[in-house]
Chain A
Amino acid sequence: MRIRTPLILGAATAVAVSALSAGTVQAQTELLIWHMEQPPHRVDRIQELLDEFNAANPGIVVRQEPQNWGEIYAKAPAAVAAGNAPDLLFAIPDFAPLLQGIGALQPVDEIVAGLDNAHGFYDAAVEPYAYDGGIWAVPLYNMAISLWYHRPMLEAAGVTPPETWDDWVAAVETLSTDGVHGIGLPANRHLYTDQTTYALMVNAGASELYNDDGTVRFDNPETAAALDFYGRLFAFSPPDAANWTWGEAEACFASQTCAMILQFTVITTYDTQTDGDPADLGVVAIPHAASADGGTISYSNGVMLLTDDPEKRAATEAFLTFLMEPETYGRFLNMEPGLFLPVTETGAEADSFWSDPMAERYRPQIETMLENSQAGRLFGFTSGNIFPSIAAISAQNLIAQATQAVVLDDMAAVEAASEIQERMEDAIR
C-alpha cells in the first residue's frame, strides 16, 4: 500500500499540535504547603479544602506535607539551604524571624492588605508578623490558653472556679484526692511548658521578656514569683507530668485523673473520648496573682511565603482568598473545633464557624476562649515591641528550662530566673 507524503506530514502535524495543546492544558502552578497540624483529622480537613480549591482552580495544584513543630525549627532552614523548601510554611510569631533573618521569606503586605479589606484582620493577629519593613506571614488563626476544669468535680468538692492564685492553689489542694490530681501541669523541655509557664508569667505581671532596648529582663521578681507558683502547683500534678506534651495533658483531663489543666482546648478529646456532657466542661481565664492583672498567652498562627516565583505568588493569593472566605474559613478553623479561633471579623461571625456540630454544642466554652484571647500576650511581642531574637530563646525552650530547674531540680525560683537570664543573653548574643 502506498502512503502519500502529504498525508504523513498532515498526521505528524496533527500529533505535534495535539501534544502541544496537551502540554498547555497540563501546565499547572504547583504549591507545596508545610504545616504542623499533624493529627489525622486536621490533615483530612485540610485535604478536603485543598481538593475543593484544586477542583475549582484547574491551573493550580496545592499539596500539603504535614511536619512536626518539634523539628521544624531545624528542618526549615535546612530545606531552604538545600533548595527544597516548600512554597508555603505555617508559622507562629517566634518562628517567622528565623527564616526572615536568613532572607528566606517574601513579604506578603499586599496579600494581607487585600484580605484585610475583604474580611477585616484583627490588628493583634497581624502585628507580630510586621517588622523590618514588611509583613512576613498571613495570619490564619488565633490560639489562647485557658484553664479547663471538670465542673462536677469542682462542685462535688465545694470549689468555685478560681480567679486568683490564692483561690487556685487552695482549689487544687482540695481537689487532689486519691487517684485525682488537682491540676496537671507539664514540665517537659517543650513548647507546651514554655507556654504554660509564660501564661503564669503574664498573670504575675512578667509578660515583658525584653526591656525596650532589646536586652533580656527575665531575671526579675515577677518572673521568679511565677516560677515559684508554678512549682507549688506542679507538686499536685501527676508524677509523669515532667515528660508531658499537649497530648498527655489532654489524656489526663479526659480520664478525669486531672481535675484541671492549662490548655488551648480540650473540646475534641472531651467530646470524643469521654461520655462527658458539654455542660460539665468548664473553662475560665487563667487565675492571676493579687498584684497583677489577668491575661494569658495568645498568638496568631500564620502562613509564610517562601517562593519568589510570581506565578506561585498569584496562586498563593488565590488560595488564601479561597481559604479566608467566610463559607470556607469556618470549616478550616473547625479542623479542630474550639482550638483555632478566627483572626478576621467576618470569620468570627461566619456560619461555617458556628454551625459546626461541635462548635454548636460547645458554644459557651468557645465564647469564653475568644474572650480570654483578648487579653493575650506572647513572649517577645509585647507592648508594641517586636524582638526577632526571641526565635533563638524559643527554639531552645529556655523558659521551660527555667521551670524544670525549679520544679524538678528544686532550684530556688530567683536563682533559676538569674541562671536562665544568662542563658537567654548567651542565646541572643
Chain B
Amino acid sequence: MATPTDRQPPRLDRRQREALLGFLFITPLLLWLVATIVWPLIASIHLSLQDVRIIGTTSEFIGLDNYGRVLGDDRFWGAVGRSGIWIVGNAILQTLLAFSAALALKRRFPGVRVARTWIILSWIVPTVVAVVIWRFLLNASGGGLINPLLITLGLTESGVGFFGSGETAFATLVVINSWRWFPFITVILLAALLRVPSDLYEAASIDGASAAAQFRYITLPLLQPTLFVVGLIGTLLSFNVFDVIWLLTAGGPSSDTTTVPVMIYETAFKQFRLSQAAAMSVITAGLLVAFAAFFVKVAKPKEAF
C-alpha cells in the first residue's frame, strides 16, 4: 500500500533544476528552428524526390532522378562557378570598402558622429529603390550621371552599356551589391575597432611602430574573431543574394549573371520544374554546409574558440 510520501514527485537537485530551466528557455528557439529550417529542409528533400512541375500540383515518387539531372547539367555547375566568383568578388570589394570606411570612421573629426550614422544609408534603402537609383545612374540613353561623367572626363567617347556584356554586367552587379552591403560590415568592423585598447597603439608608437605595423600586429589580430564571423556570415549572405541580380539583369545577358539562387528561382517558377529546383536547393545546401565546415576548420581564430 502506497504511503503519502510515495506519491510525492521525486525532488530535483539544483543541477537538474538548472538543466530543466535551461531546456525550457531554449525550447521555443528549438521549435522555431524545427519549423523554419528542419521542416522546410525535409519538405524540400521530399519534393526533390518527386516530379512536381507547377506549385500545387502532385506527382509520383521518382527517386533520385532529379539529382542525376542536376548533377549532370553543365548549366548548374556554371551557376555554381558564377556564384563562387560572385562571392569572391563581393568579399574583396566589400572588405576593402568596409575596412577603409571603418578605419576612417574610427578617427575623430568634425561630423564623425553623423557620418557613422549615415554610412548605413545604402544598406537600409530597400532593394527596389537601390535598383531604380542605379538604373538611373547608369542610364546611357539620355540622362544618367555616370556616363556623362565618364564622357566629360574623357574616359570614353560614348555611353557605356554596363549591362551590355556578360563581363561588365557581372562586374556592375558586384559593385552595386557591394555598395549595398559594405556599410553593414563597416558598422561591425567599426564596433570591433573601437574596442581595441588605445594604449596598445600608444605603446606601439612609443616603440616606433609604423601605422602599417600597428595595423598588421595590433589591429588585424584583435579583429580576427570579428573577421571570422563576418567572413562566414558575409559569404553565406552574399551567396544567397537574389533580388539585386533578378531586378537588374534577370540572370542575363544569356546566363552570364545566373548565379545558383537565380537558377533555382528560374527552374521553379519560369521552367515550372519545382522538384528539380528542390533538388538544386538540397545540393546547394549541402555545398554551403561543406563550405561552412571548411571555413570554420581553416579560419577560426584559436583565441576565440
For the complex, give the distance between the alpha carbons of A242 and B158 in Å.
16
Q: Mark A73-107, 1 if CB is under 8 A from B, else 0.
A: 11001101110000000000000001001100000
Is B221 an interface position by the 8 A CB rule?
A: no
CB-CB under 8 A from B143, the residues of chain A are 251, 255
Are A189 and B249 in contact, CB atoms less than 8 angstroms apart? yes
How far apart sit A404 and B258, CA to CA, in the bound complex (Å)?
Answer: 14
Main secondary structure of the interface of A (DSSP, over half): helix
**CB-based contact B252/A239 at 8 Å:** no
B272 cross-chain contacts in A, Cβ below 8 A: 77, 98, 392, 395
**Interface residue A184 (Cβ < 8 Å from any Cβ of B):** yes
Interface bracket on A:
35 or more
Min Cβ gap B269→A in Å is: 3
Contacts of B139 in A (CB 8 A): 240, 248
Within 8 Å by CB of B56, from A78, A240, A257, A409, lies: A78
In the assembled complex, the CB of A203 is this many whole angstroms from the nearest CB of chain B, namely 24
List the A side residues contacting B169 at CB < 8 Å. Answer: 242-243
In the assembled complex, the CB of A82 is this many whole angstroms from the nearest CB of chain B, namely: 8
Q: For B269, give the chain A residue with the smallest CB separation.
A: A74
Q: Are B141 and A188 interface neighbours, CB within 8 A?
A: no
Q: Which A391-405 residues have C-beta < 8 A from chain B?
A: 392, 395-397, 401, 404-405
| Interface membership of B65, Cβ < 8 A | no
Q: Does B282 contact A (CB under 8 A)?
A: no
Roughly how many angstroms separate A80 CA and B54 CA in the complex, as a whole number?
11
CB pair A80 B56 closer than 8 Å = yes
Q: How far is the CB of B120 from chain A (nearest CB, A)?
A: 28
A401 touches B252 (CB 8 A): yes
B174 interface residue per 8 A CB criterion: no
The reply to whether the CB of B91 lies closer than 8 angstroms to some CB of chain A is no
A256 to B141, CA, bound (A): 9
Contact with A along B108-146 (1 / 0, CB 8 A): 000000000000000000000000000100111111000
A412 to chain B, nearest CB (A): 14
Which A residue's beta carbon lies closest to that of B158?
A239
Cβ-defined partner of A238 (8 Å) among B141, B249, B271: B141
Do the beta carbons of B271 and A77 come within 8 Å of each other?
no
Q: Is the CB of A77 within 8 A of B55?
A: yes
B190 at the interface (CB under 8 A from A): no
Q: Does B179 contact A (CB under 8 A)?
A: no
CA distance A247 to B163 in the complex (A): 16
Known: A240-B161, A242-B161, A396-B266. A251 touches B141 (CB 8 A): yes
Report Cα–Cα, A193/B265, bound state, in Å.
20
The answer to whether B254 has its CB under 8 Å from any CB of chain A is yes
Contact B54 A77 (CB under 8 A): yes
Q: How far is the CA of A73 from the CA of B272 in the complex (A)?
A: 9
Q: Once the chains bind, are A189 and B142 in contact (CB under 8 Å)? A: no
Question: Complex Cα distance A258/B251, Å?
Answer: 26
The reply to whether B254 and A409 contact each other, CB–CB distance below 8 Å, is yes
Whether A252 is near chain B, meaning CB under 8 Å from some CB there, is yes
- CB nearest neighbor in B for A181: B141
**A73 to B270, Cβ gap below 8 A?**
yes
For the complex of A and B, 4 pairs with smallest distance between CB atoms:
A81-B56, A239-B161, A74-B269, A238-B141
- The contact sample of 23 A-B pairs, CB cut-off 8 A, is A73-B269, A74-B270, A77-B56, A189-B249, A189-B250, A189-B252, A239-B140, A240-B138, A240-B141, A243-B162, A243-B249, A248-B135, A248-B139, A251-B143, A257-B142, A258-B141, A392-B272, A395-B269, A395-B270, A396-B266, A408-B164, A408-B252, A409-B253
Residue ranges of A at the interface with B (Cβ–Cβ < 8 Å): 73-74, 77-78, 80-82, 98, 101-102, 181, 184, 187-190, 238-243, 248, 251-252, 255-258, 392, 395-397, 401, 404-405, 408-409, 427
